[in-house]
């Protein structure tokens, strides 16, 4: 990899509540190594899998888990980060988050940031095979693609359920390459 391919770029990473949330830490680290300024927003469910301190340490920026926390460094963090972002990546993107995005719901900092940004949005779905293959999930993804959202994965692989099937989140290295590709298109 060529070093510093993302120098000067602001990448916001939205982390949602799935077991693949631990892989988002690897992505944040890889983005930083490429020179990106990285900010992380998390759903409360994501914090059940990976603590915000992990992302604060890796990104070197405060992590937003609650839009209305008086300790937030910005009055409206979803708007501030949405406006600053060159790209917004939601990693992992759970079925719930995908549904909320498709319906325009913004009841947490991850979904609110998606509505507040005009930057490209990249989703990295991760869920059980039955959830991913459900017609509702597929309809929501189709809706989001029609609105310009980009989707990477999921892959066939070992799932938390113990079976091998579609639903495994794409590896952080491949997500990084997709981010670089999207930004190079702009």
pLDDT for res 3: 61
**Which runs of E-coded beta strand occur in the chain?**
10-15, 37-42, 87-93, 121-125, 150-151, 155-158, 164-168
Burial of 113 (0-12, 13-18, 19+ CB in 10 A): buried
Token readout for 44 is: 């409360």
pLDDT for res 1: 43
CB 41 within 8 A of CB 81: yes
pTM of the model: 0.95
- Could you tell me the residue ranges of all domains in the chain? 10-185
pLDDT for res 74: 86
Taking Cα atoms as reference points, which of 63, 70, 78, 76 lies closest to residue 108?
A: 78
Q: Does domain 10-185 have CATH number 3.40.50.1950?
A: yes
Whether omega before 116 lies within 30 degrees of 0, making that bond cis, reads: no
Compute mean pLDDT per 10 residues along the chain, 186 residues long, and list them. 80 96 97 96 96 97 92 89 97 98 97 98 97 98 98 94 94 97 91
pLDDT for res 28: 98
Distance CA 117, CA 15 (A): 16
CB 155 within 8 A of CB 120: no
């Amino acid at each position: 990899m060529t070093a510093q391919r993302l120098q000067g770029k602001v990448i916001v990473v939205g982390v949602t509540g799935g077991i693949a949330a631990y892989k988002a830490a690897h992505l944040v680290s890889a983005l930083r190594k490429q020179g990106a300024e990285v900010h992380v927003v998390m759903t409360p469910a994501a914090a059940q899998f990976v603590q915000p301190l992990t992302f604060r340490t890796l990104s070197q920026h405060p992590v937003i888990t609650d839009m209305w926390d008086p300790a937030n460094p910005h009055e409206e963090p979803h708007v501030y980060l949405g406006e600053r972002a060159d790209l917004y990546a939601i990693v992992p993107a759970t079925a719930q988050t995908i549904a909320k995005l498709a319906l325009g719901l913004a009841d947490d900092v991850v979904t609110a940031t998606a509505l507040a940004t005009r930057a490209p949005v990249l989703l990295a779905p991760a869920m059980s095979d039955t959830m991913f293959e459900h017609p509702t999930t597929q309809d929501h993804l189709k809706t989001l693609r029609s609105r310009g959202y980009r989707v990477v994965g999921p892959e066939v692989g070992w799932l938390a359920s113990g079976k091998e099937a579609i639903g495994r989140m794409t590896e952080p290295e491949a997500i990084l390459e997709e981010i670089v590709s999207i930004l190079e298109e702009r």
